[in-house]
Amino acid sequence: MTLPPNALTRIRRLTPHTYAEGGVVYWMSRDQRVNHNWALLAAAEYARQQSTALSVVFCLAPSFLGATERQYSFMLKGLREVEQALARHGIPFILLLGEPPHEVINYCERNRIGALFTDFSPLRVGRHWRDAIATSLTIPFFEVDAHNCVPTWVASPKQEWAAATFRPKITRHLADFLTPFPELTTFTSPTVPSTDWERIERSLTYDHSVPAVLWCTPGEQAAQQALNRFIAERLTGYATHRNNPARTAQSQLSPYLHFGQLSAQHIALSVQVSTAPETDKEDFLEELIVRRELADNFCFYNPHYDSFAGLPSWAQKTLNEHRDDPREQLYTREQLEQAQTHDPIWNAAQQQLTQDGTMHGYLRMYWAKQILLWSATPEEALAHAIFLNDRYQLDGRDPNGYVGIAWSIGGLHDRPWFQRPVQGLIRAMTAGGITKKFPIHEYIERVTKNH
């Protein structure tokens, strides 16, 4: 296997050291898959060139941004499959337990590792992990953007204002980057999976009060099946129906994308060759590529991606001007969490979130915008929305989540609209508007009947 030229720009060097000797390790974090993974492919190619062994480590952190059993059980089932698939390629998988910087550094030193690869995440926690490792290690350490179709640092060198400014930059690169993946090398002999997953799951101390969900089967194989079903059954009509909460018209692939169990580039290539109408393909690729990669752009270039300070200045100004406006309702975080508001649409969306770990995409915007109206300050609204989103969504703790919330509450990537109480110039969404557009009672009945 040799990597195509575009793959080289996906790789960033995090340490200046040169390779001397020893095996190669891919520290897997955000991209938890064996297929279509540029970080794994780059590590494998490096190991082949140095005629040395490759192994993959994953470090299970004792806590991760409030993740609960819902997210951990999904992730661990996916990782079991990763171990088995790697074994078929003769690549050992090692599960480390503890704080990633400490465990990864120790692992590399104990095993005299010669080069380290990892995948890319724009979120603070992952960047702190990578920085700490880069400062301690004296071997080459590479970061590979295996998550985005166009690597974040190639797409744009700065924070973009809106999809309109980002779209032409991404589009210019797409022909270069939307290319097929090479085959992953198989190393000398098959290895035997050896992680005691039951023991590890029993030993974990994560929050069990938010249970796993059944609608989304974890793992790469289930992810591929979900993609096949979406393309065969729902891609046609996506443009027309995706915003209708009463229908299941979206792909429901976001949990797989969040945990890296499915590659966005592989999805895009599969959608491009499908026979669905061009308008449906275009609309879907706009969400999958432009909107999703714009979220990574924001979190990469704006260190305040999850707070008031990260919002555009016009939005901060208008929200500050309306700080003291009287609120028609004020709800506590507990009332919100338990779906105890006066608004049946909002309550149904919140129930879908707590019970199923998901929420229809259109209602996510409405849901967050009402939290602004019902909170004492915009800061509190952001904190409540991020808390609830990260605790209950299967796809939470993702750049898409921070950006979706900042868009809804703080006008990010949007423009000023009309003056309204509390929201100021932030775009409004009303229950009346939703009821006029969609048969929302069907959604409310479906969600509340299931619970």
Interface ranges with ligand FAD (CB under 6 A)? 242, 250-254, 257-258, 287-288, 291-292, 295, 361, 364-365, 368, 389, 393, 395-396, 398, 400-401, 404-405, 407-408
The phi-psi region of residue 422 (left if phi > 0; otherwise alpha if psi is between -120 and 50; otherwise beta) is left
Minimum distance, C-beta of residue 395 to ligand FO1, in the bound complex (Å): 8
Minimum distance, C-beta of residue 366 to ligand FAD, in the bound complex (Å): 9
Minimum distance, C-beta of residue 47 to ligand FAD, in the bound complex (Å): 31
Asked if 40 interacts with ligand FO1 (CB under 6 A), we say no
The phi-psi region of residue 434 (left if phi > 0; otherwise alpha if psi is between -120 and 50; otherwise beta) is alpha
Cα–Cα distance, 395 to 1 (Å, whole number): 33
- The listed partner (ligand FAD, ligand FO1, none) that binds 292, CB under 5 to 8 Å by sort, is ligand FAD
Minimum distance, C-beta of residue 60 to ligand FO1, in the bound complex (Å): 5
Asked if 292 interacts with ligand FO1 (CB under 6 A), we say no
**Alpha carbon distances (Å) from 430 to 257, 370, 384, 434:** 30, 9, 20, 6
Asked if 30 interacts with ligand FO1 (CB under 6 A), we say yes
3-state class of 213 per DSSP? Answer: coil
User: Is 438 in contact with 246 (CB distance < 8 Å)?
Assistant: yes
Choose, by CB under 6 A, the member of 70, 234, 266, 397 that binds ligand FO1: 397
Choose, by CB under 6 A, the member of 59, 271, 386, 440 that binds ligand FO1: 59
3-state class of 83 per DSSP? Answer: helix
Interacting residues with ligand FO1 between 60 and 119 (CB under 6 A): 60-61, 64, 67, 71, 75, 100
Interacting residues with ligand FO1 between 112 and 151 (CB under 6 A): 121, 123, 125-126
Residue 422: other Cβ atoms inside 10 A: 20
Minimum distance, C-beta of residue 227 to ligand FO1, in the bound complex (Å): 20
- The listed partner (ligand FAD, ligand FO1, none) that binds 30, CB under 5 to 8 Å by sort, is ligand FO1
Cα–Cα distance, 177 to 445 (Å, whole number): 44
Q: For residues 309, 314, 317 and 320, what is the CA-based torsion angle, rounded to 10 degrees? A: -70
**Closest C-alpha among 290, 299, 291, 301 to residue 159:** 301
**Closest C-alpha among 157, 143, 152 to residue 177:** 152
Question: Residue 194's Cα: distance from chain center in Å?
Answer: 29
Bridge partner list, 55:
25
- The listed partner (ligand FAD, ligand FO1, none) that binds 64, CB under 5 to 8 Å by sort, is ligand FO1
Closer of 62 and 433 to ligand FO1 (Cβ): 62
Minimum distance, C-beta of residue 123 to ligand FO1, in the bound complex (Å): 4
Closer of 201 and 286 to ligand FAD (Cβ): 286
- The listed partner (ligand FAD, ligand FO1, none) that binds 142, CB under 5 to 8 Å by sort, is none
Instruction: Quote the Cα angle for 265-178-168, to 5°.
Output: 100
Closer of 357 and 424 to ligand FAD (Cβ): 357
Closer of 116 and 388 to ligand FAD (Cβ): 388
Question: Residue 243's Cα: distance from chain center in Å?
Answer: 20
Which positions lie near ligand FO1, rule CB under 6 A? 29-30, 59-61, 64, 67, 71, 75, 100, 121, 123, 125-126, 397
